Structure 1
Amino acid sequence: MKSKNKIKAINPKLWLYFCITFMFSLLSVIFFSAIVISILYFFGIFSNSNADRSFFLPLLLMVIISILLGLIVSIFIGKVFLKPLEELNKGLHEVAKGNFAIRVEEESSLKEVNDMLKNFNSMAEALSSIETLRTDFVANVSHEFKTPLAAIEGYATLLQSENLSKEKHDEYINKLINNTHKLSTLTGNILQLSKLENQNSSNLEKEKFNLSEQLRQAILSLESKWESKNINFDLNFGEIYYYGDSGLINHIWTNIISNAIKFSPENSTIVLEASENTKEIVVKIKDHGCGIAKENINKIFDKFYQVDTTHHSEGNGLGLALVWRIIKIINASIEVESELNCGSTFTIHLPK
């Protein structure tokens, strides 16, 4: 899609036009001086006397000095103003063609011009980062869609077999349902992320709600997952109310608790704690799962990042990316403590 915002290019021959205009002005001064001198001679004001010559020579010297000064000023202006503008113009043309790696030299002696060149480089750097993120995002989305689609195609083909037993038939149907659910979840997460990209703290739908009840409901919504692994929950909180966007905040609990269930071993316990003070509400979600290596903790909120590839088929790496975006929107904060083979603790601070 072509952008409607067009960059108005600076004429690369601007320096030539400026020099021509400046030289024309100098010639006008010389021509005017010549006319004045001619008039003075015509009326006999000038003669061949030494006194008259002493008046004429300074005037001629003034014209020569004006020409030299004009040339010096032209060179100075060309170097200070026009050369950086020409470089900036070339850079804008490259950006318009999609080359976000272009940079201009910040070599102007004027602060204002140098700031303009620096802002251009910052803009190009930001565009380059966005383009990289976009490319990676499209590649990851394509990969995440390809896996379940291939599985659906494969199981649908197997179901066409006439000699298929009822046991295999039911197994393939369940596989189809599971992969369809994965596609649905992936699509929903992508749409939610896209929606959140244009959302900020100024357009939240805030209301007072029972945060404790919301936590309990988030656990119940995942009952099939934790029941199949015989996981227990230890809830340590009283009745806590919070004023905020309950819909967005609910995404935080469901995604973090879902991850805790996914990485927890069978017959283990997940601990939920919540407390409040005059400034904030603090919620802790602790599991006893496989844990996260310290060097990977900063990556877990990246889109499509998978900590444990053995659980890849159970998620798409977008859940914690959603959590991170929501945390930023509601001006909250999140901390992660983890130790390999011991578990992880997610601590969320909700400002009042």
Structure 2
Amino acid sequence: MKGWLPRVKLNTIHAKLLATYLLLTTLGTSLMASYILWSFYAYFMQTRQVDLENWTTALSESAADALQVKNLQRVEVLVKRYGAPQTITLRIFNQQGRLLATSDPRDKQVTDWYKVPGVWEALQNRPVQGITKGLFSTEDRLYIARPISRDGQLLGVLRMSITLEQVQRQFTKVIWSVLGTLAMIILICALISTRLARSLSKPIEVMRNFAIRLGSGHFGDILLFHENNELDQLAAELNRMSERLASLDQERRVFLANVSHELRTPISNVQVTIDALKSGAYEEPQLRDRFFQTISNEIKRLSQLIHDLLDLGRLEAGVTQLEQQMVSIRGLIHRAVNATEPRMQALGISVQVNVVDLAIEGDPERLLQAILNVLDNAIKHSAPNSQVFISGYKQGKQAVLEIRDQGQGIHESDLPHIFEQFYTTDPSRKGNGNGLGLAIAKRIVEAHQGTITASSVANQGATFTICLPL
């Protein structure tokens, strides 16, 4: 295992994260700025409207005093005093809508005052206010027109308008201030977003490159970085995957080496025997028959090895379809014992069976194959004139099957590997097996959602325990 940390470059993940952060920041700050500007504008307009209402209320009272006594000169003085030609226009009309006094000399050009916004409504005793264009310019003006009344009698109309230029100038300053602040906020957020996006994209890019290396066959590398978040968990899983792939790759190499060894031995034996027959052994009947028997035995061994390899491959790939039917454990044991009885009798081995009648759901032929493989292993390692004990009982929701022999047992160092492919406790591989029987049995039991374990006591034999769900 070796530490590995690739160099990370700016990538599309970083760009996407940065773009997302900037977009959200710009959108959020823009909405906030718009709300602030709208609030300021509403505040300015409301302030001017309140001022205009207060002014016209006070002026309408003064104008009512003058109109009540028909003092038009006083009305003129009032208009001239409070009207300003550039910013404030003040007009007073009589009850027929005729202009009595104005602060704007250009008003003499107007012939129909009923068309001026607010005049007609005020003559109907309805005060009106709003925003309109100036009579002699295109600038926006805030106006208010209110009736002048005294003791319930309409004496005239007062209309006052003010230019919004000053308000607009003030608002423009506010706009530039807000926009400047907005730009500064976006810039600061961009710098923060760049750092944040890089901190998030860097480990992701590291993991991507790490996965690419795994895909190219560099198993066993370790991903080194600490983020103290979910990425740490992902890195840990990638490290576990890397270690598992390295282990599987090693197992694959060992498997190929073992397969090569197992295939090479019978083929070499057959080749040597054929060469011997060609060299003259064919002329001697006794030697020829022995050589033919050797060829036959090696071909059978080779055929069994190929069959076991295909069987194991299908089980590991999960392509083997298991039948689902009710199976009697006792019936399976009797079939297995009957199949191996001639061999046990030849070796002087007896069997003692104590199995209760239990039923499980599974594939009877596959389960029989697993039991036969385990029983074959027990017979192979049993001493002559010894016994093999087979017991079956119920434990909780499982059916437990134990097969125990009276051989030398399994060495403690061999127990963890006993179910591995081609593993054998005979280093010279001179036994009859090929090291696949127990591996196949394990795959069959696991395919039935069960477990198989092995235990051993030195010089007292080994015990294989199969647990299957009822």
8 A contact 1:26–1:67 mirrored in 2:
no
Distance 2:281 2:429 in 1: 33
Unaligned 5+ segments in structure 2 are: 1-8, 38-164
Change (3 A) 1:320 1:60: same
Cα distance change on mapping 1:76 and 1:211 into 2, 3 Å: closer
Whether contact under 8 Å (1:91, 1:104) holds in the other structure is yes
Q: Cα offset for 1:163?
A: 4.6
Q: What pairs with 1:72-87 in structure 2 (closer than 5 Å)?
A: 72-79=192-199, 81-87=200-206
Task: Please tell me whether the aligned partners of residues 383 and 406 of structure 2 are also in contact (alpha carbons under 8 angstroms).
Answer: yes
1:251 CA drift (Å): 1.3
Q: Which residue of 2 aligns with 1:160?
A: 278
Q: Is the 8 A contact 2:22 2:193 kept in 1?
A: no
Residues 452 and 465 in structure 2, CA contact (< 8 A), matched pair in contact too: yes
In structure 1, how many angstroms separate the alpha carbons of the residues matched to 2:376 and 2:232? 51
**CA 161–243 in structure 1, closer or farther in 2 if over 3 Å, else same:** same
Partner of 1:173: 292
SS in 2 for 1:266: coil
Q: Decide which structure has greater helix share.
A: 1
Change (3 A) 1:238 1:153: same
TM-score (norm 1): 0.77
2:346 is the alignment partner of 1:232 = no
Cα gap change, 1:170/1:208 in structure 2, threshold over 3 Å: closer, same or farther?
Answer: same
Equivalence map 1:1-352=2 (5 Å)? 12=11, 14-15=13-14, 60-79=180-199, 81-108=200-227, 111-164=229-282, 165-199=284-318, 204-237=322-355, 241-276=359-394, 279-309=397-427, 312-352=430-470
Shift of 1:156: 1.8
Shift of 1:241: 4.7
Q: For the structure 1 residues 336 and 96, does the alpha-carbon distance in structure 2 shift closer, same or farther, using more than 3 Å as the test?
A: closer
Q: Distance in 2 between matches of 1:123 and 1:277?
A: 36
Please state how far the C-alpha of 1:314 moved relative to its aligned partner.
0.9
- 8 Å Cα contact 1:200-1:329 kept in structure 2: no
Q: Deviations over 1:75-122 (max 9, x none)?
A: 22222x22123223322332332223344334335x344444444434
Alpha-carbon offset, residue 149 of structure 1? 1.2
Q: How does the TM-score come out when normalised to structure 2?
A: 0.60
* Structure 1 unpaired stretches of 5+: 1-9, 37-42
TM-superposed deviation, 1:271: 2.3
Relative to structure 2, which stretch is displaced further, 294-303 or 229-238?
229-238
Report the Cα offset of residue 339 of structure 1. 2.2
Q: Which amino acid letter does the alignment assign opposite residue 415 of structure 2?
A: I
Deviating more after overlay: 68-77 vs 113-122 = 113-122
Does the CA-based 8 Å contact 1:232-1:269 persist in structure 2? Answer: yes
- Structure 1 residue 27 displacement after superposition: 11
User: Which SS does the other structure have where 1:177 is aligned?
Assistant: helix
Residue 273 of structure 1: SS of its match in structure 2? Answer: strand
Distance 2:270 2:431 in 1: 14
Q: Structure 1 residues 227 and 74, CA, compared in 2 at 3 Å: closer, same or farther? A: same
Deviation at 1:345, TM superposition (A): 2.1
| Whole-angstrom CA distance in 1 between matches of 2:217 and 2:395 | 51
**Are 1:287 and 1:345, in contact at CA under 8 Å, matched by a contact in 2?**
yes
Counterpart contact for 2:17–2:197, Cα < 8 Å: no
Name the amino acid aligned to 2:457.
E
* SS of match in other structure, 1:124: helix
Counterpart of 1:297, as a letter, is: L
Over 3 Å counting, the alpha-carbon distance change for 1:311 and 1:215 in structure 2 is farther
Query: Aligned partners of 2:392 and 2:23: how far apart in 1?
Result: 79
Distance 1:207 1:13 in 2: 55
Equivalent residue letter for 1:78: R
The residue identity in structure 1 corresponding to 2:246 is: S
| Cα distance in 1 between the residues matched to 2:384 and 2:291 | 26
Which is further off, 297-306 or 342-351?
Answer: 342-351
AA of the residue aligned to 2:263: F
Task: Name the SS for the 1:347 alignment partner.
Answer: strand
**2:223 partner SS:** coil
Identical-pair percentage = 26
Distance 1:97 1:22 in 2: 34
Separation in 2, partners of 1:326, 1:215? 16
Listed one character per residue, the Cα deviations across residues 231-273 of structure 1 (whole Å, up to 9, x for unaligned) are: 2223334665544321111012211111112112222222223
Q: CA RMSD in A?
A: 3.7
Instruction: Decide whether aligned partners of structure 1 residues 82 and 336 sit closer, same or farther in structure 2, where only a CA change above 3 A counts.
Output: closer
Number of residue pairs matched? 327
Amino acid aligned to 1:91: F
Q: 1:254 to 1:25 in 2, by over 3 A?
A: closer
* Higher Cα Rg, which structure: 2
- Against the structure 1 CA distance between its residues 12 and 327, is the aligned structure 2 distance closer, same or farther, given a 3 Å change threshold? same
Structure 1 stretch 307-316 or stretch 175-184: which is displaced more? Answer: 307-316
Distance 1:62 1:277 in 2: 73
The one-letter code matched in structure 2 to 1:178 is N
1 CA distance for matches of 2:190 and 2:433?
71
Do the aligned residues in 2 keep the contact of 1:285 with 1:347 (CA within 8 Å)?
A: yes
Q: What residue identity is the alignment partner of 1:318? A: L
